[in-house]
Structure 1
Amino acid sequence: MTISGDIVKVDPNLDVNNNWIMKELGVGQSFDVIRRDITIAGRRATMFYINGMAREDVLVYILTSLSKLKREDVTPDAYTKILNQYISYLQVEALDDLHKVVDKILSGGIVILIDGFKKVIQLDARNHPVRNPQESDLERVVRGSRDNFVETLLFNVNLLRRRVRDPKLRTEILQVGSRSKTDVAVVYVQDIANPRLVDTIKERIKAIKMDGLPMAEKSLEEFISPGSFWNPFPRVRYTERPDVAAAHLFEGHVLVMVDTSPSVMILPATIFHHLQHAEEFRQAPLIGTFLRVVRFIGVLLSLFLPPVWLLAALQHDLLPPNLAWIGPKQLGYIPLVWQFLFAELGIDLMRLAAIHTPTSLATALGLIAAVLIGQIAVAVGFFNPEVILYMAIAAVGIFATPSYELGMANTLVRIALLIGVGLLRLPGFVAVTMGIFLLLLTTKSFGLPYLWPLIPFNASALKDVLVRPPVPLLKLRSKAMHLLDMDRQPYPAPARKPLKRSLKEKKEEEKRIWPELEKKKEDDGSEG
């Protein structure tokens, strides 16, 4: 056995290879690691695979094919002939590094070692458990497909290939984690995406030095996403819908897919990407625009309605006379600021409880929340009725936010605004608002400003953000991403205008055509 750096060469002696692999995999200690000793044309051979991850039908088929080998066919350099003639399986390769052999076994492959051979035959016959691609609970639509991503990387790539049948689609595979060896796929359209962005993402993934990614895509995001770790605003967009992922590929974005996770990262992403939903593009443009405007209003109300009402209640002189009715009609036993904070805490507790509550008990949980928090708390004077109303509106706005991550970030912003108003009144509200705006202004997602196209201002792109554009009018891709191909639709050639003819030219043409018509009529009459 030859050891060169991190490479362990395959030894011609079968026992040396077997002992090294058995020590690495713990054969005999781990019940699911299987070693099978066989004989191929009079030579000793060994098969290694993981029980439950290798396809049994492929095992039987390969053993049947290898039993047809003759002694004269099995020479030390005959692995190429064996691969091409006797192993008629699609995904097969020869390996000469035992480290790669172990990685393939742990990934679900089948390896065959033959005594006297300096290479190992590896069959990619993985049998990963796959659940049905059922619709995601986070991205439901009234119209549209119901096949969503699952936890198996290859299955997810197939769902994407079904929608993007472009030969320029690239799905580059990388491995992250010295122990987990998690498969990560970088997906992009080669002649559309910015090559510098693609290279940056791949370099950051390759630079990760970690033993494993237990939380899959979220752990990977914290490694590759630029900026402060404590910035609550998400700089990548997650989706579990193949149609949404395919739409972003055509727009020039890059996808990062992690094995064992149904969530796919979309890079880069602005705050307006997090406010879009597939339902808008499944309806007519006018209806989609209406849905988008309602969603924007809901998000703004969830952010500013409770703090603004609290500011008006605490500093009543800020209101004009015609709005003097705004404010609490009766005060509770607890200051208004604490009422809002306690209500916020109750809503978040109910949200967590809904996640961990079985479906059969979800209705009971809703009744408890409505009766105990909504009615009894107001009746005993713990909460002001208007506090409950405005916090309920804010909660609805958070639930209407398509991005769960952005909804949680908006919750923290609302809490900060409430605390600022409670401490400093109007100066506190202005200070927190300006601080959040500066944070958004300085945030970038892989070089793309987070507030684009608002800042830097781009009128045409901002119009497409506020108004759901009809698909036939989507001629160009985003200029801010510096893409290779900006055209989404070919521009038609300008129609040729008919030449203007003078009256003299028209009469000359009639004289030329009229005898021909008369002759044709005479010929038709004679034939009749």
Structure 2
Amino acid sequence: MTISGDIVKVDKKADVNVDWISKELGIGESFDVVRRNITFAGRKATLFYIDGLVKDDIMTYLLISFSRLEREALAPDAFFKLYKQYLSYIEVEALDDLHKAVDKILCGGVVMIVDGFERVILIDVRKYPARMPEESDLERVVRGSRDNFVETLLFNTNLLRRRIRDPKLRTEILQVGSRSKTDVAVVYIKDIANPRLVDTIKERIKAIKMDGLPMAEKSLEEFIGPGSFWNPFPRVRYTERPDVAAAHLLEGHVLVMVDTSPSVMILPATLFHHLQHAEEFRQAPLIGTFLRTVRFLGVAISVFLPPLWLLVSLQPELLPPGLSWIGPKKLGAIPLVWQFILAELGIDLMRMAAIHTPTALATALGLIAAVLIGDIAVAVGFFNPEVILYMAIAAVGIFSTPSYELGMANTLVRIAMLIGVGLFRLPGLVAVTLGTFLLLLTTKSFGLPYLWPLIPFNGSALKDIFVRPPVPLQKLRPRALHPLDVDRQPYPEPARKPLPRETTKKKEKEKEKRIWPQFIEDEDDNYEE
């Protein structure tokens, strides 16, 4: 056995290789790591695999095939005959490094060591535990596909291949984590995506030095995500829908998939990407525009309505004379600022409780939240009724935000505004609003400004943000992504000039004579209008 750095060369003596792999995998210590000794064609061989991660029927068929081989069948050039002629399976690979062999075994492959061979044979018969694709709870649509991403990486790439049958679609596999060796796929369309963007993403993934990624895509995002760790606004967009992922690929975005997670990262992403939903494109353009407008208003109201109401309640002189009816009719036992803070914390507690509550008890939880907490708190005078009303409206706006991450960021902004108004009134609201705007202005997602196309301004792209464009009018890809191919719809060829009617009729008559000569008189006819 030859050891050179991190490479352990395969020895010609099978026992040396078997002992090294057995020690590395802990044969006899781990019950699910299996070593199987066999003999075929007069040669000793050993199989290593993980129990439960291989396809039993295929391995049984291969073992039966090996048992029928005679000694003369592998002479001469025994390795190449076995590898190319008698190993009747489509996914096989020859390895000369035992470290790579161990990695492949832990991924679910079967490694076969044959005495006298200076290479081992990898048989890829992986069978991961997987669930069938089903609709995501976070991105439901009235009409549309229900086959969402699952926790198995190969299934997810197949869902994309089904929608984009382009030979330029690339799914490059990388491994992250010195111990977990998590599979990460970088997906893009080669002649559309910006090569610099693709290289930047791959370089950041390769530069990760960590023992593992237990939280899958979220751990990976914190490594490759640009900007400060403490910026609450998401710089990548998550989706569990293959149609959404395919649409972004065709625009020039890059996808990052992590094995064991159904959430796919879309890079780069702006603030307005987090406000789009697949339902808008499953309806007519006018209806989609209406849905988008309502969603934008709901998100804006959820952020600004409670702080503005608190401001005019604390400073009634800011209201015009006609709106003097706005404000609390009576104050509760707790100051208004603390009422909003406690109500905000109560809503977040209810949201967390709903996640951990079994489905059968969800109705009971709703009754507790609505009746026992809300109504009784108002009845005993702890809370003002308007506070409960406006916080409920804000909660609806947060739940209508398509991106869960953006909804949580907006919640933090609203809390900061409430605290600013409670401490400094109008200057506090202005300061928090300007601070949030400056944070958004300086945020970038892989070089793309977070407020694009508002800042820097792009009129046509901004119009498509607020008005859902019809699909036939989507002729160009977003230029901010710097795609290699800007045109989504190739220009049609110029229409051919039609032949004169007389010439056309003569050609039709000649064709009839060739096909039906017995029914056409052979004479000169005058073809007139």
TM range (shorter): over 0.9
**Contact 1:76 / 1:116 at 8 angstroms: preserved in 2?**
no
Please give the alpha-carbon distance, in whole angstroms, between the structure 2 residues aligned to 1:77 and 1:384: 88
Name the structure 1 match of 2:257: 257
Find the residue that maps to 2:255 and give its secondary structure.
strand
2:196 match: secondary structure? helix
Task: Report the Cα distance in structure 2 between the residues aligned to 1:458 and 1:468, rounded to whole angstroms.
Answer: 16
Mapped to 2, the partners of 1:226 and 1:329 lie a distance apart of 48
Output one character per residue of 1:324-362: Cα deviation in whole Å (capped at 9) or x when no partner.
111101100110000000000000000000000000000
**Counterpart in the other structure of 2:411:** 411
Q: Is residue 2:15 matched to residue 1:12?
A: no
Report if aligned partners of 1:289, 1:466 keep a CA contact under 8 Å in 2: yes
1:34 lines up with 2:34 in the alignment: yes
TM-score by length of 2: 0.94
- Partners of 2:524 and 2:254 lie apart in 1 by 69
Question: 2:257 is paired with a residue of what secondary structure?
Answer: strand
SS of alignment partner, residue 402 of structure 1: coil
* Superposition misfits of 4+ residues, deviation over 4 angstroms: 493-498, 522-525
| Kept in 1: contact 2:192–2:252 (CA 8 A) | yes
Is this contact kept in 1: 2:343–2:388, CA < 8 A?
A: yes
CA RMSD of aligned residues (A): 2.0
**2-side partners of 1:76 and 1:139: how far apart?**
60
Change (3 A) 1:472 1:111: same
Quote the residue 1:502 is aligned against. none
SS of the residue aligned with 1:138?
coil
- Separation in 2 of the partners of 1:493 and 1:61? 55
Q: Deviations over 1:74-132 (max 9, x none)?
A: 46952222111101101001111000000011000011101111000110100101101
Alignment match, 1:56: 56
Aligned residues of 2:53 and 2:126 also touching (Cα < 8 A): yes
CA offset at residue 218 of structure 1? 0.2
3-state DSSP of counterpart to 2:129: coil
- The letter for the 2-side match of 1:271 is L
Q: Quick one: distance in 1 between partners of 2:493 and 2:169?
A: 29
What CA distance in whole angstroms lies between the structure 2 residues aligned with 1:324 and 1:85? 89
Cα distance in structure 1, aligned partners of 2:321 and 2:494 = 61
Q: SS state of the match for residue 209, structure 1?
A: coil
Q: Which amino acid aligns with 1:409?
A: A
Asked if the contact 1:236/1:267 (under 8 Å) is kept, the reply is yes
Specify the SS of the correspondent of 2:213.
coil
What is the CA–CA distance in structure 1 between the aligned matches of 2:425 and 2:155, rounded to whole Å?
A: 54
Residue 493 to residue 121, structure 1, CA distance change in 2 (3 Å): closer
SS in 2 for 1:293: helix
| 1:460 and 2:460 matched | yes
CA distance in 1, matches of 2:417, 2:379: 27
What residue in structure 2 maps to residue 290 of structure 1?
290
Within 2, Cα distance between the matches of 1:132 and 1:360? 24
The letter of the residue matching 1:265 is M
Q: Report the CA distance between 1:374 and its aligned residue.
A: 1.8
Aligned to 2:377: 377
Q: Which piece of structure 1 moves more, 208-217 or 39-48?
A: 39-48
Q: Is the 8 A contact 1:49 1:105 kept in 2?
A: yes
Q: Distance in 2 between matches of 1:365 and 1:83?
A: 62
In the alignment, which residue of structure 1 is the partner of 2:276? 276
Task: Structure 2: give runs of 5+ residues left out of the alignment.
Answer: 506-520
2:170 match: secondary structure = strand
Name the counterpart of 2:487. 487
Q: Tell me the CA shift for residue 49 of structure 1.
A: 0.6
Match of 1:517 in 2: none
How is 1:225-264 mapped onto 2 (pairs within 5 angstroms)?
225-264=225-264
Deviation at 1:492, TM superposition (A): 2.7
Aligned pairs for 1:308-323 (under 5 A) are 308-323=308-323
Residue by residue over 1:173-195, the C-alpha shift from the partner in whole angstroms, topping out at 9 and shown as x without a partner, is 00000000000000000000000
For 1:366 and 1:104, the matched residues in 2 are separated by 49
* 2:441 alignment partner in structure 1: 441
Q: Distance in 2 between matches of 1:39 and 1:462?
A: 69
Shift of 1:72: 3.3
Aligned residue type for 1:161: R
Asked if structure 2 preserves the Cα contact closer than 8 Å seen for 1:180 and 1:213, the reply is yes
Q: How does 1:279-428 map to 2 (within 5 A)?
A: 279-428=279-428
Other-structure match for 1:504: none
For residue 179 of structure 1, what is the amino acid of its counterpart?
R
Q: Partner amino acid for 2:189?
A: V
Q: Which residue of 1 aligns with 2:46?
A: 46
In structure 2, distance between residues paired with 1:152 and 1:196: 28
TM-score scaled by length of structure 1: 0.94
Aligned partner of 2:510 in structure 1 is none
**1:110-121 alignment runs, 5 A limit:** 110-121=110-121
Partner-residue secondary structure (3-state), 1:159: helix
Stretch of structure 1 that moved more, 73-82 or 291-300: 73-82
SS at 1:38's partner residue? strand
Compared with structure 1, are the counterparts of its residues 215 and 75 closer, same or farther at alpha carbon in structure 2 (3 Å cutoff)? farther
Q: Deviations over 1:241-287 (max 9, x none)?
A: 00000000000000000000000000000010000000000000000
Q: Residue 524 of structure 1: CA displacement?
A: 6.3
Question: Aligned partners of 1:9, 1:321: CA distance in 2, in Å?
Answer: 86
Aligned to 1:166: 166
- Residues 27 and 75 (structure 1 numbering): CA distance in 2 closer, same or farther, change over 3 Å? farther
**Distance in 1 (alpha carbons) for counterparts of 2:423 and 2:2:** 70
Query: 2:79 corresponds to which letter in structure 1?
Result: Y
- 2:64 and 2:84 map into 1 onto residues whose CA distance is 15
Paired with 1:9 and 1:78, the residues of 2 have a C-alpha distance of 20
With over 3 angstroms needed to count, the CA separation of the structure-2 counterparts of 1:497 and 1:299, relative to structure 1, is farther
Structure 1 residue 73 displacement after superposition? 3.8
Q: Distance in 2 between matches of 1:489 and 1:358?
A: 49
Q: How far apart, CA to CA, are the structure 1 residues paired with 2:15 and 2:376?
A: 76
Relative to structure 1, the CA distance from residue 76 to residue 293 in structure 2 (aligned partners, 3 Å threshold; closer, same or farther) is farther
Distance 1:407 1:108, change over 3 A: same
Distance in 2, Cα, partners of 1:279 & 1:238 = 16
Cα distance in 2 for partners of 1:31, 1:221 equals 35
* 3-state SS of 1:257 partner: strand
Q: Distance in 2 between matches of 1:290 and 1:81?
A: 66
The one-letter amino acid of 1:450's match is: Y
Unaligned runs of 5+ in 1: 499-508, 514-519
Deviates more, 1:343-352 or 1:36-45: 36-45
Aligned residues: 509
Residues 74 and 81, structure 2, Cα contact 8 Å, conserved in 1: no
Counterpart of 1:182? 182
The answer to whether the Cα contact below 8 Å between 2:227 and 2:444 also exists between their aligned partners in 1 is yes
CA drift at 1:494? 5.8
**Alpha-carbon displacement from aligned partner over 1:56-75 (angstroms, at most 9, x marks no partner):** 01111111121232223446
Displacement, 1:443? 0.2
Following the alignment from structure 1 to structure 2, what is the Cα–Cα distance between the partners of residues 332 and 78?
89
